[in-house]
Chain A
Amino acid sequence: MKQLMGVINLDHELDLLNELTYFRCGAAVPFAGRYRLIDFVMSNMMHAGVLDIALFVRRKYRSLMDHLGEGRPWDLDRKRGGLFILPPDWNDPSDVSTGELQHIHNNQDFFERGSAKYVVYSGSQHLSNVDFCDAYEHHLKQGADVTLIYTKVDQLQPEHQSCTRLDVDGSGRVTDIHRERDHPNVYMEMFIMEKEMFLTLVKQCIAHGESHFFRDAIQKNRNKLNIAGYEYKGYHAVINSLESYYRNSLDLLQPEKYNSLFREQPVHTKIKYEVPAKYLETADVSNSLVANGCQIGGAVENSILFRGVQVKEGARVHNSIIMQKCVIEENAVLENVILDKDVVISRGRQLQGDVRKPFVVAKDTAI
C-alpha cells in the first residue's frame, strides 16, 4: 500500500536474552529454525505493500545488517524507496533531541522523501501476522488521530508484565493507557498515524525536552488525541526475555500455533541455499522442527533444529533449541538447552538445563 511508510524502531528494546543478545540486538535473534525476530514485522509490512521502511538501530546491529542486506527477501531492493537501515551517525550541532526522537529528528529526509501519507510504527518484539492494511482502513474509518494495535491475551505470561495495556470502549476508542498487570489488552507496540501529525508531535516533544514518542506524545496526550484501538486476533507472542524466547519457540511444536504463524501468509527471511534435511538410518525424530541442511543420526524430541545442524548417531536432543551449524557429536545428551550458532558439543558430553531456565551456550564455542 503506497499510503503507508514503515518505521521499525529498535532503540528502546532491551537486549535481555542473555548469551543470545551479548553480540546482537534482540531483533536479530534467530527464531523458529530459520528466521530472525525482525522477519515477522518485515514480512507483515511487505504483505501490506509498504514500500519504504526505516529501521532505527543504536547498538549491536552488525548481524542485523548482515541479515537484512538490501532488503531483497522482502522485495525492498527498489529503485525508489526500499529499506533504510539508519544507525546513529548524525552530526547536527544544533540538535537538542534526545532518546528515540533523535532518530526521527536526524532522519527527517526519510519521512519527507517518501510519498506515503501515513506512518506505521513498530518494534520487533511482538510476533504476529497482523494485517497492516486492515489496521490502516480501520484507522481511516474511525477518523482517528492515531490507531494503536493491541491483542487480547487470555493467559498472561511473565513476558507480558512489562507490556503496555489499553482500555478500549465499545466504539473502539482507547480510553486509557497503563500497565496494570492483569489487564488482557496488550498493546503490540505498533501504531498508525498520519505523517504530518507524527512529525508535528515529534517537534513538540523535542521542544519540550522529551525523549520517548509513545509515552510523551501519545500516552500523555490521551485525552487530547482521538485514539482508536485495532484489535488483532491471530498468532501473538512477545519475546523480551530468555524464558519467553524458549517457551514461545517450543510452543511452535503445537500444530495450531505453527499453522497460525506460518500458514496464514509466508514469512520471508534471508535465503540460504541449503540442501533438504537428511535423516539417517539411525535417526529418531519426533515432535520437532527441522530446517534444511540438517543431518540427523541421533534422537531428537521436542526440539528445534536450525539450518545445517548435525546430530550424530547416539546423540540425544530433548526440549532444546539448536541454532545454525551446531554439531552434536556421538552420544552427547542435551536437555533443556539452547545452543547459539556454531557450537560443538563433543562426544558423550551431557548438558542439562531447567525447563523454566534453559542452559544457554554462547555462539562459536566448543564444549
Chain B
Amino acid sequence: MKRKEVVAMLLAGGQGKRLKGLTKTLAKPAVYFGGTYRIIDFPLSNCSNSGIDTVGVLTQYEPLVLHSYIGVGSDWDMDRRSGGVYVLPPYEREDGTSWYRGTADAIYRNLKFIEQYDPEHVLILSGDHIYKMDYERMLDYHKEKNADCTISVIDVTLAEATRFGILNTDDDLCIYEFEEKPAKPKSTLASMGVYLFKWDILKKYLLQNVDHPDTSHDFGKDIIPLMLAEEKTLYAYPFQGYWKDVGTIDSLWEANMDLLSEYSELNLNDPEWRIYTRNPNQPAEYIAPGAKVRNCMINEGCSVYGEVNHSVLFYGVEVGEGSVVTDSVIMPQVKIGRNVRIHRAIITENMVIEDGAVIGAGREDNSEILLITNDNETAPSANASFPTPTI
C-alpha cells in the first residue's frame, strides 16, 4: 500500500439528538443543509480541496443513508486507486463485539485501517460542522511548530465560550490547558473538533488509554488532557472564517439563513473551493408568472407559483399558487399546496402540505423554529401527508 502523509478520519457516527425528528432515521452528518448539501459534504469537500485523498468515515448511528450517500466517493473525487474514501462501521472481532464507545475508541478500533497507509499524521474531523477550511495549511503549521498535536480553534465571544471546549494557550498559541464548557473561561479559543496528530504519538496514547478504567474514550475528555499532563507539544491553529456547529434545530435554521445575505461569510459559489455533493440531477427551476421570490436560495427542480421570502428551498420543492413561505427551510421534494402559510419552519423531505394549511404563521419574529416531520413514517423516503394544522 502506498504511503500517505496524512490520513483523515471523519467521525460520523453521532445521532445529534438535539436535532430531534431530523435525525430519527439518519445520522447527523447526513442532515440536509443549504438547499442541496448534507453536512458531511463540508469536511469531505474540504479534504478533497486540501489534497487529502484518504478518508475513513466512522459510522455507527443509523448509517444507511450515509453509506449509500458516500458510495465510492466519486462525487468528492475520492474514487482513487490508492486511498479514497472508506466507510468504517464497528465490526466483530475475536475478542468480542461492541459499539464504538467514544471518539477515541472509534479511531483505536481502526488502527489497522490507518496502519495500511503508514501515515505521518492523522487528521481527526467531525461530521457536525459547516465550514470551509484548507487542511493543508493547518498541516504546514503543524509541521512548522513540530507539534505532537494541533487543534484548530476559532475565536468566540466570552459569553459563547461557556458552551465550547476552550483551549488555554500561551502567547505563542502553545496549549497548556483544555477546559470543557468552562463556567469562567480564561480564553475565547474554542476547539473546532479538528485535530491533527503525529500518528506515532496518537497511536501510543490510544493504546495507553483504551484499557484505562476511568476512560470515556473521548479525544476532548481523555486523550488531549493525558497528552497535556505528559507535557506533549500541543498547538492551537487559529482558523478564521465561517464555522458553525449545526447541532440544534435553531442553529441549523440559522446557518441556512446565513446563506441568504448578499455577502454571506460562507461563500459556496467559489470555483476554487467547491462544496461537492451528490447531484440530484433536476431540471432548471421554474418560477411562474405571478410568483414572488426574494432573498432566497432555490435549488433546481423546484416549481414556484407562490411567494417565497427569506427561505431556502431544496431540490424538487413545489410551492402552489397563493402560498407564502417566509423564514423557512424546505427540504427536498416537499409539495406545498395552494394558499398555504409557512413561517419560521423547517419542513422535512417528501412532506405534502395540503391546500390552506397554516404552519407557524402569525407568530413573533423571534418565536421558536417549528420542525415539521411525519412521525408516523419510518422510511425517510416515504411520502407523507400533513393534515391541516393551525399552530
A residues adjacent to B (C-beta < 8 A): 32-34, 73, 253, 255, 258, 261-262, 266-269, 271, 273-281, 283, 285-293, 295, 297, 304-306, 308
How far, in whole Å, are A283 and B281 apart by their CA atoms in the complex?
Answer: 25
B residues adjacent to A (C-beta < 8 A): 34-36, 259-260, 262, 268-269, 274-277, 279, 281-291, 293-300, 303, 312-315
Closest to B270 in A: A275
Verify A274–B298 contact, CB threshold 8 A.
no
Verify A273–B274 contact, CB threshold 8 A.
yes
A277-B297, A293-B269 as given contacts; A34 in contact with B284, CB under 8 Å: yes
Verify B295–A279 contact, CB threshold 8 A.
yes
Q: What's the nearest-Cβ distance from chain A to residue B378, in Å? A: 27
Verify A255–B298 contact, CB threshold 8 A.
no
Closest to A293 in B: B269
- In the bound complex, residues from chain A placing their C-beta under 8 Å from that of B313 are 276
Verify B300–A34 contact, CB threshold 8 A.
yes
SS of A interface (majority) = loop
Verify B281–A268 contact, CB threshold 8 A.
yes
- In the bound complex, residues from chain B placing their C-beta under 8 Å from that of A289 are 283-287
Verify A275–B281 contact, CB threshold 8 A.
no
How far, in whole Å, are A277 and B315 apart by their CA atoms in the complex?
Answer: 11
Select the residue from B284, B285, B296 with max chain A CB neighbours within 10 A.
B284
Interface pairs (9), CB distance under 8 Å: A34-B284, A73-B281, A258-B286, A268-B281, A276-B298, A286-B288, A286-B291, A287-B287, A288-B286
A276-B35, A278-B297 as given contacts; A286 in contact with B284, CB under 8 Å: no
Starting from the known contacts A285-B293, A288-B286, 18 additional A-B residue pairs (CB-CB under 8 Å) come to A32-B284, A253-B286, A255-B286, A262-B283, A275-B36, A275-B275, A276-B300, A276-B312, A278-B297, A279-B298, A280-B294, A281-B262, A286-B289, A290-B287, A291-B285, A305-B284, A306-B284, A308-B269
A276-B36, A287-B289 as given contacts; A32 in contact with B283, CB under 8 Å: yes
- In the bound complex, residues from chain A placing their C-beta under 8 Å from that of B281 are 73, 266-269, 271
- In the bound complex, residues from chain B placing their C-beta under 8 Å from that of A277 are 285, 297-299
- Residue from B276, B283, B299, B303 within 8 A of A276 (CB atoms): B299
Closest to A301 in B: B289
Verify B268–A275 contact, CB threshold 8 A.
yes
How far, in whole Å, are A283 and B287 apart by their CA atoms in the complex?
Answer: 12
How far, in whole Å, are A291 and B259 apart by their CA atoms in the complex?
Answer: 18
How far, in whole Å, are A291 and B298 apart by their CA atoms in the complex?
Answer: 9
Closest to B274 in A: A273
- In the bound complex, residues from chain A placing their C-beta under 8 Å from that of B262 are 280-281, 297
A34-B300, A273-B275 as given contacts; A288 in contact with B287, CB under 8 Å: yes
A262-B283, A275-B268 as given contacts; A286 in contact with B300, CB under 8 Å: no
Verify A275–B279 contact, CB threshold 8 A.
no
- In the bound complex, residues from chain A placing their C-beta under 8 Å from that of B288 are 255, 286-287
How far, in whole Å, are A280 and B298 apart by their CA atoms in the complex?
Answer: 11
Q: What's the nearest-Cβ distance from chain A to residue B229, in Å? A: 44
Verify B290–A286 contact, CB threshold 8 A.
yes
Q: What's the nearest-Cβ distance from chain B to residue A252, in Å? A: 9
Closest to A73 in B: B281
Closest to B268 in A: A275
- In the bound complex, residues from chain A placing their C-beta under 8 Å from that of B275 are 273, 275
How far, in whole Å, are A1 and B288 apart by their CA atoms in the complex?
Answer: 38
Q: What's the nearest-Cβ distance from chain B to residue A124, in Å? A: 19
Closest to A268 in B: B281
Select the residue from A73, A275, A285, A290 with max chain B CB neighbours within 10 A.
A275
Verify A292–B300 contact, CB threshold 8 A.
yes
Verify A281–B295 contact, CB threshold 8 A.
yes
Q: What's the nearest-Cβ distance from chain A to residue B261, in Å? A: 9
Q: Which 10 A-B pairs have the closest CB atoms?
A: A33-B284, A276-B35, A276-B299, A275-B268, A262-B283, A289-B284, A287-B289, A291-B284, A279-B296, A271-B279
Q: What's the nearest-Cβ distance from chain A to residue B358, in Å? A: 24
Q: What's the nearest-Cβ distance from chain A to residue B374, in Å? A: 24
Verify B303–A255 contact, CB threshold 8 A.
yes
- In the bound complex, residues from chain A placing their C-beta under 8 Å from that of B277 are 273
Verify A278–B296 contact, CB threshold 8 A.
yes
Closest to A310 in B: B269
How far, in whole Å, are A266 and B262 apart by their CA atoms in the complex?
Answer: 32
How far, in whole Å, are A320 and B81 apart by their CA atoms in the complex?
Answer: 45
Verify B297–A276 contact, CB threshold 8 A.
yes
Verify A290–B35 contact, CB threshold 8 A.
no
How far, in whole Å, are A247 and B225 apart by their CA atoms in the complex?
Answer: 69
- In the bound complex, residues from chain A placing their C-beta under 8 Å from that of B286 are 253, 255, 258, 288-289
Closest to B299 in A: A276
Verify B34–A275 contact, CB threshold 8 A.
yes
How far, in whole Å, are A253 and B303 apart by their CA atoms in the complex?
Answer: 11
- In the bound complex, residues from chain B placing their C-beta under 8 Å from that of A281 are 262, 294-295
- In the bound complex, residues from chain A placing their C-beta under 8 Å from that of B36 are 275-276, 292
Q: What's the nearest-Cβ distance from chain B to residue A41, in Å? A: 17
How far, in whole Å, are A106 and B73 apart by their CA atoms in the complex?
Answer: 38
How far, in whole Å, are A292 and B37 apart by their CA atoms in the complex?
Answer: 13
- Residue from A262, A271, A286, A308 within 8 A of B287 (CB atoms): A286
- In the bound complex, residues from chain A placing their C-beta under 8 Å from that of B296 are 278-279
- In the bound complex, residues from chain A placing their C-beta under 8 Å from that of B274 are 273
- Residue from B269, B282, B291, B294 within 8 A of A274 (CB atoms): B269
How far, in whole Å, are A290 and B289 apart by their CA atoms in the complex?
Answer: 13
